Every structure is written in structure tokens, then in C-alpha cells.
Amino acid sequence: MELRNDPRFRGITPFAGRIWLSSPTMHGDEQHWVDDAIATNWVSTVGRNIDEVEKAIAEYVGVKYAVGLSAGTAALHLATKLAGERLYGQARPDAGTLAGHRVFCSDVTFDASVNPVAYEDGEAVFIDTERDTWNMDPAALEKAFEMYPDTKLIVLAHLYGTPGKMEEILETAHAHDALVIEDAAESLGAKYRLNGRWTETGALGDYNCISFNGNKIITGSAGGMFLTDSKEDADKVRKWSTQSREAAPWYQHEEIGYNYRMSNIIAGVVRGQLPFLNEHIEQKKAIYERYKKGLKDLPVRMNPYDAEKSVPNFWLSCMLIDEDALAPHVRGEQEELWRHEEGKSSPGEILAALAAFRAEGRPVWKPMHLQPIYRANKFVTAEGNGRGRTNAYIKGTGADVGADLFRRGLCLPSDNKMTPGEQDAVIEIIRRCFD
Ligand SMILES: Cc1ncc(COP(=O)(O)O)c(C=O)c1O
């Protein structure tokens, strides 16, 4: 039976238009700055829009330099390469800077955070997740340094716009002379109180990256930025991103180059979005609060954050189903099967029900250590090695927070154009899943 016709959902009508997880929200100024670029013929990877957004973002985040790039992934790649060069020296043109070296990485994140480690020939070691903010677990990070003390680089993301436990992580990083790459792609505008001082995410690491992908809190349709206080690093990234041209009249190259620079057209869209960043955050926060209230008597909880030490940007609202209210379900590599049980539900059932009424949700990001491509990589939990922990004879503790979040969690429709009435209908659909 089609879920829409299930008697549990009687009386609910499909949404007239689709309700998105998180889609671009345009305001009009974007068109003006794109038109301006075209009218002035700056249809290139140079132009005033780029200069202006670099200046405005650097000011907003509180760093000295911002370098506009084609994507957050490009920013992460060049940040990773910079860190590799600083730690281990310049690599041959046909080799990565991290060859033969381990890098400690967030586990529950989008793979763009960690793929640059592989681009640079490094070995990602995935660090398990804590339950208080769903980010890198400082205790697991400590364990990882015990196991692999030579490691000198950490890549961490702030999942869904919620800052991780930066104070503990930076303390551990400093104790081991390790550098930190901060992936703030999902968390632009989120703040963290570091040693008593409020600091924007994107200004907390040695190398920092943001994204203007279409689903982010503000967008350029694409685009990203590298953020830093180091002029030398900013200049290097600018050079690498424009094919590493040397100061010669002809094309002269001493380093491998990339075509990663931001376009002035995309920068025009970002320029139009910038004045609305705080408004978008307020809208996302209202969505989070409305879910929290609307779902409070169900056996679920929202993605948590530390209200004392952080202000998230609330990019995506998520929920986790209580263990004893989780209906049976299994996932293969590309499909899943679920079965309804009275009073219970599962991420698969809820996402199918939302889709039946034209609303988009998504499972919690599948942890990197469970991804086929990274299955051979090391994984460290607060208890130590997280691989090969099942034992035919002894019951293990099974500490694998990321796997648990993936099993029980889902991202809810969090589009800031969703009306309160539409969100109430989403909440009602979720509620009926537990009937
Ligand atoms: C955590 C995280 N890192 C990196 C990226 C990559 O950014 P981009 O799509 O701009 O390359 C994304 C999203 O796309 C992301 O969510």
C-alpha cells in the first residue's frame, strides 16, 4: 500500500509544492550584483564582487583574510595541502604532501571534509563522535594520539551548524603540536565561546573553510572560501587557485596549480545574500524551536548543542529516535527495508512518509568509517581501536556513536521558506508514524 493511503495518515493532504531539506533563498539583490558584473564586463575570476565578499566575510567571521574559491571542497583541498607542506615540506609534483602520514578526521561529516586527505596521499584515521553536539569526540581524539602519537593534523567539521567541543580539541591539538583544519562549511554564522571569548566558526582552526553550496545557510549557487589570519597562507592559496603562475611574462610554473578561484558572477550571488545571513539563521533557529516543541511528547530528541559555549546556526534540524521506540529496519548498501510496529518508527519509515507528502528529509550523514571507500581506514573510539570489535565469544561494548546516530537519526525538512503551517503538517506526519 502506498504510504499516503495508509489509514494512519488519513486527512493529511500532500504539500502543493515540495518542502525541501534546505534550498536556496534568494532576495533580489543577488540579481543586481550578477547584472553589475555582466554590465561592467567583469565576467571572470576577478572583479569587484569577489573583492567585496572576501572583505565582508573576513570581517563577519573575524579573520584577516578570506580567499574566494570555486567550492568549499577546493578550500578544504588547499587548506589540507598547506598543512601538508608546513608539516612535511613541498612534495614532488606527482605526489601528495601527506604521503605516508596519518590525519585525524571527523567521522560523521560529508565526505568533502576528508577526501582532500586522500587527494594529498594521506591516510585518514576517523575519530568517533560524542553525543553532546554530534561532533568529534575529544576523548576519542586523545585515544587516537595515544595510538598514533606521530600524527600532526586534525580535520574537523561542525555538523549541521552545531559547533563541536573546540576548547578540548584545541587543547589536545596544542599538547601534541598538531594543526587543525576547521571545516565550517555547514556552520557559517555559528559561534563558540573559546576560553571565554565568543569566536565565529571559521576562525577557530589553523586553516578554515566555508561553503556557499546551494544548500548552505547562504549560497552563491556554488563557491567557498579559505579563511586565515596569515597573509602568507592567503597569498599561497590565491596563487595555487589560479594555476600557480609565477611572476613572468609567459606562463611559468614552479608549483602544481589548480583552477579553483571563485567566479565574479558567483561572488555576485553571494554578495546579494550576505545581508541576509543573520535573518536566515533566525529563521533556521525558529524552525529548530518549532520542531523541538512539536515533537516533545514523542520518543525522539533533537540534535543537541551546548547552549553555554555555543550558538549554532541551526542549518539543519535533526532528530534521533529513542532506542526503545525504534522499529525494525535494515540497510544494505543502497536500499533499506523497514517494518512498522505500533508506537514505534524508524528513519526509513519517517523519510518515506515525508516523501509521500512531498517533503524532503535525509538520514543522518553516514559515518566515514562505514563508507565503502574508507572501510579499510582506521577508526578510533573513546575506548580505542573501533575496528574488529565484535567477538564471537565475548560481548563488546559496541561504542560507535556515529553508527548509532546513523541508525536512529534523520535530518528534517529545514528550509527557511517553509511556513509554520507547513512545518506543523510535517510534525503531524512524523507524529502519525509513531501511531
Ligand atoms: C561538512 C561539509 N564540508 C564540505 C562541503 C563541501 O562544500 P562544497 O559543496 O562547497 O564543495 C560540504 C557541503 O557541500 C559540507 O557539508
- In this structure, the answer to whether residues 86 and 219 fall within a common structural domain is yes
Same domain, 262 and 362: no
Last residue within a domain, chosen from 253, 275, 297: 275
Report whether residue 120 contacts ligand 1, using a CB cutoff of 6 Å: no
Interval 130-182: pLDDT, tens = 999 999 999 999 999 999 999 999 999 999 999 999 999 999 999 999 999 99
Burial pattern 101-139, b for ≥16 Cβ within 10 A else e, equals bbbbbbbbbbebbbbbbbbbebbbbbbbbbeebbbbbbb
pLDDT (0 to 100) of residue 113: 98
pLDDT of 283 > 90? The answer is yes
Whether 233 and 309 share a structural domain: no
CA angle (71, 362, 356) in 5-degree steps: 130
To the nearest 10°, the Cα dihedral for 241, 247, 253, 258? Answer: 10
Q: Is the predicted pLDDT of residue 435 greater than 90, yes or no? A: yes
Whole-number mean pLDDT of the chain? 97
Q: Which of 238, 255, 275 is the last residue of a domain?
A: 275
Confidence of residue 396 (pLDDT cuts 50, 70, 90): low
Q: What is the pLDDT of residue 2?
A: 79
User: Considering only CA atoms, which residue is closest to atom 7 of ligand 1?
Assistant: 72
Same domain assignment for residues 268 and 281: no
For residue 397, what pLDDT is reported?
A: 64
Residue 385 CA: distances (Å) to CA of 126, 179, 298, 327, 380:
10, 22, 35, 30, 5
Q: Quote the percentage of the chain above a pLDDT of 90.
A: 96
Residue 197: domain span: 29-275
CATH of the domain at 298: 3.90.1150.10
At residue 220, the 3 state secondary structure works out as coil
- pTM (2 d.p.): 0.97
Q: Is the CB of 357 under 6 A from ligand 1?
A: no
Pocket test for ligand 1, best of 186, 225, 260, 414 (most atoms within 8 A of CB): 186
Are 266 and 306 in the same domain?
no
Instruction: Decide if 67 contacts 225 (C-beta within 8 A).
Output: yes
* Substitution candidate for ligand 1 out of 105, 213, 262, 318 with most atoms within 8 A of CB: 213
C-beta separation of 262 from 50 below 8 A? yes
Q: How many domains does one find in the chain?
A: 2
Please check whether residues 339 and 326 belong to one and the same domain.
yes
- Residue 183, ligand 1, Cβ within 6 A: yes
Overall average pLDDT of the 37-61 stretch: 98
- What CATH code is carried by the domain that includes residue 90? 3.40.640.10
Residues 374 and 412 in one domain: yes
Nearest atom of ligand 1 to the alpha carbon of 213: 10
**Helix, strand, or coil here: 154?**
strand
Residue 90 Cα to ligand 1 midpoint, Å, equals 26
Question: pLDDT tens digits for 315-335?
Answer: 999 999 999 999 999 999 999
pLDDT at 105 over 80: yes
pLDDT band at 53 (very low <50, low <70, confident <90, very high): very high
Tell me how far apart the alpha carbons of residues 186 and 131 are, in angstroms, rounded to a whole number.
18
Same domain, 264 and 344: no
Same domain assignment for residues 13 and 38: no
71 lines ligand 1 (CB under 6 A): yes
d(CA 106, CA 182): 10
Gap from CA of 22 to ligand 1 centroid (Å): 14
Q: According to DSSP H, which parts of 250-342 are helical?
A: 264-273, 277-294
pLDDT in tens, 64-93: 999 999 999 999 999 999 999 999 999 999
Are 263 and 405 in a shared domain?
Answer: no
**Does the Cβ of 172 fall within 6 Å of ligand 1?**
no
**Could you tell me if 329 and 230 lie in one domain?**
no
